[in-house]
Homo-oligomer: A and B are copies of this chain.
């Protein structure tokens, strides 16, 4: 499982302040802490800076990669910000996110062709958010085909079925699980990914819900997750779930994590 740390997001007040002030010490510290806690990649988002997102996001990329040697997930809906970020990113980045909406993908096409990032593709298009497994697959097919037209192979795509809050509709939890399992079947070469915490939006004890949902997704074959790696309970659940799903030979990573005091 690839774990993408979600904390360097300007919707978090402390992050917005640090980015505003150019406080590289804070940003480096936040990057290091997430990697230490088990993040493989880090998401960076400066979306709250409406006027200066391109500069701010590029600064975040350079600052974070100055501290930790990991791939960044460039999280922006602003094509100029995406381009600036990809220009300064060392190595091949992950672009978060591309949907099947035609206007959007055409805007990003030249940038994708030029920088060849791996891509988080959303199962969402002109018809909106899918509300059945079959519509999720249809939406996935569209975005995978659009990306193929830009030279992006399935092995470089992370498909996100777009988990929605169970507080809105109690069937959305199961829809996310079933969609993940079905996407794995229909597109064996792609990876599946999700933003875990969406599922609990609007409900009390969100961490409990997120921690209970992650094992379900891992059992369904999830390949990558965007989550808060500083949530020790969540990371312990993640390690236990990998052992339980057979992805941790002889439970050796689990036992190692236990010895390191990582299982509270």
Contact = CB atoms under 8 A, between A and B. Distances in A.
Interface of A: 166-167, 170-171, 173-174, 177, 199, 203-205, 208-209, 211-216, 218-220, 236-237, 240-241, 243-246, 248-251, 254-255, 258, 263
B255 A203 contact: yes
How many copies of this chain sit in the oligomeric assembly? 2
A171 B251 CA distance: 10
A243 B177 contact: no
Contacts of A249: 170
Contacts of A203: 243, 251, 254-255
A199 B219 CA distance: 15
Contact of A170 (B211, B237, B243): B243
8 tightest A-B CB contacts, nearest first = A173-B244, A212-B240, A216-B219, A215-B215, A174-B246, A204-B258, A212-B215, A205-B263
Contacts of A245: 173-174, 177, 216
Tell me which of A213, A215, A241, A246 has the highest count of chain B C-beta atoms within 10 A of its own C-beta.
A215
Tell me which of A167, A211, A219, A248 has the highest count of chain B C-beta atoms within 10 A of its own C-beta.
A219
A99 B171 CA distance: 36
B246 A173 contact: yes
A215 to B, nearest CB: 4
Contact of A211 (B209, B237, B243): B237
A170 B212 contact: no
